[in-house]
Amino acid sequence: MNSIFRDPTSAGGLDLSKYINKASLGAKLRRFLWGLVQSSLFRWSPKRAFAWRRFLLTMFGAKLESSSYFYPTTVIWDPARLQVGEHTAIGPGVEVYSVDRIEIGSHCTVSMQAFLCTGSHDISDPQMELTHAPIVIENGTWVCARAFIGPGVRLGEGSVVAACSVVSKDVDPWTVVAGNPALVKKQRRVKPSDS
């Protein structure tokens, strides 16, 4: 047998057989029920049925403005930890891993297949204890396609995270970041409105 499958104690003291999920029974039950709803009533709803999906999310504890938009392929781990402002769109295939609180302001766009991840693991713990921290996305921010936003990150007002970027630190307001790890590329300037 290949050596990677031998004695687990040779893994530097790691023992994931002792890992304990510390979520309450109520939280586990809520997520189980949400999983059923998300994989059926939410996932298979018509693309333009935004009000219906908002209704389902609020039934499971999400705090949403009536002009927020979720697409049917958006995946949300726990709606009870999600708050979204007005005129904000969460695009197709976005993963919202809300182990902790995720607050998204108004006039934001989270583009397709972006990943908002509030959870991680303590790699120094023998059972790799779950760790988590909130994500805050301030008003007017754009998280572009396939970007990854990590635990504890705050995206400042008007900031832009370029496609496929990995953000593990706060982003200043009106700043454009790109890359892995995401680095500042320039300041964002919005042209005056014609109206």
Q: What is the rounded distance in angstroms from the CA atom of residue 195 to the CA atom of residue 87?
A: 19
Token pair 């297949």 in the structure block, residue:
113
Domain-located, residue 52? yes
Per the structure, the complete domain to which residue 168 belongs is given by 24-186
For the chain, the C-alpha Rg in angstroms (whole number) is 19
Domain-located, residue 4: no
Average pLDDT, the chain: 92
Q: How many domains does the chain have?
A: 1
- CATH code for the domain in which residue 148 is found: 2.160.10.10
Look at residue 16 and tell me if it is in a domain. no
Digit-coded pLDDT (tens) for 127-158:
888 999 999 999 999 999 999 999 999 999 99
Strand partners, 120: 131
pLDDT digits (tens, 9 = 90+) for 13-39: 788 887 777 878 888 899 999 999 999
Q: Which helix H or strand E contains 69, and what residues bound it? A: strand 69-70
* Confidence (pLDDT) at 173: 98
From CA 115, how far away is CA 147, in angstroms rounded? 6
pLDDT at 167: 98
Other C-beta atoms within 10 Å of 116: how many?
A: 25
pTM beyond cutoff 0.95: no
In a domain, 87, yes or no: yes
CB 145 within 8 A of CB 114: yes
